[in-house]
Amino acid sequence: MAVHETSGTVWNDALLANPHAAADKRARVQRMFAAIAGSYDLNNRLHSLWMDQRWRRKAVRLAEVRPTDVVVDVACGTGDLSLLFAGTPARRVIGIDFTFEMLPIARGKAASARRPSPAFINGDALTLPLCNACADVVSISFGLRNLADPTGALREFHRVLRPAGRLIILEFSLPENRVFRRLYNFYFRKVLPRTATWISGDKSGAYRYLPESVNTFVQRGQIMDMMRQAGFTQVQQHPLTFGVCVCYRAMR
């Protein structure tokens, strides 16, 4: 246990200065999501003002799913995006997440949904348990910045996509308007961590990590450059809700 960490703490003040620089980021992110799995959906809905599902529906539309498509939803969490893909004509939907505690929740939601169920499996975005060129769509929602090696993950997504396959990334961003960014960051850094922590009873620091992981992550243009460097073409960005979220789309 690191200096100044208490039992259950994953992110302390020193680490939050730049959580992406933590040498053991992967393990910390995994522990964090395991700690908040049970309250994850409730906090997502409340603190996005129910916009998170609208953002996911936009991602599904941009994927342009066809009846023959295999969709792989990476960092699927509790399965929200995977379940939306399951409502498309897709031939098969696979949700993959490296935090095991998220998957029983995803499977429970799938069992109660009146649609074909995705297959949910435990796996790492950096070493997907899939063969080359086996997917037509790869998606990741609000997970790219949580990965220990985002560039390596993009190369892995490229590996599993077939030619003409689509990559869809949903990720938090910061509004480009300075005044709105200042107001948003007040909510994001001062209000959300307190209310979300109270609702979840979290001791890991997950909701202090969230705004700092966004503020210290690479910016939109850099994400697009990373996608191109991984071999993707026709890279686009679609800012949503004043730019607090962006959906990126690219072709294999």
pLDDT of 171-206, one tens digit each? 999 999 999 999 999 999 999 999 999 999 999 999
Q: Is residue 167 part of a domain?
A: yes
Q: Is residue 144 part of a domain?
A: yes
DSSP class of residue 127?
A: B
Tell me the torsion sign for CA atoms 98, 38, 87, 230: negative
Tell me which residues of the chain have a pLDDT lower than 50: 1-6
Q: What does the pLDDT read at residue 1? A: 39
Q: What does the pLDDT read at residue 6? A: 45
Q: Is residue 232 part of a domain?
A: yes
Q: What does the pLDDT read at residue 7? A: 53
**What residue has token string 């998957």?**
103
**What residue has token string 């850094």?**
189
Range of the domain at 52: 48-173+219-251
Q: What does the pLDDT read at residue 2? A: 43
**What residue has token string 């910390």?**
28
Q: Is residue 111 part of a domain?
A: yes
Q: Is residue 187 part of a domain?
A: no
**What residue has token string 């009873």?**
201
Distance CA 242, CA 161 (A): 31
Work out how many domains the chain is built from and give that number.
1
Q: Is residue 42 part of a domain?
A: no
Distance CA 89, CA 64 (A): 10
Q: Is residue 17 part of a domain?
A: no
**What residue has token string 């969709």?**
71
**What residue has token string 């966004």?**
214
Q: How many Cβ atoms from other residues are within 10 Å of residue 120's Cβ? A: 24
Instruction: Dig out the tokens for 212 from the structure.
Output: 């700092």
Residues β-bridged to residue 94: 72, 119
Residue-wise pLDDT tens digits, 34-51: 999 999 999 999 999 889
What pTM, to 2 d.p., does this model score?
Answer: 0.94
Which CATH number is 58's domain given?
3.40.50.150
The SS3 call for residue 10 is coil
Q: What does the pLDDT read at residue 16? A: 95
C-alpha pair distances (Å), 4 with each of 14, 28, 135, 236: 9, 15, 44, 42
Q: Is residue 67 part of a domain?
A: yes
Q: Are 119 and 92 in contact (CB under 8 A)?
A: yes
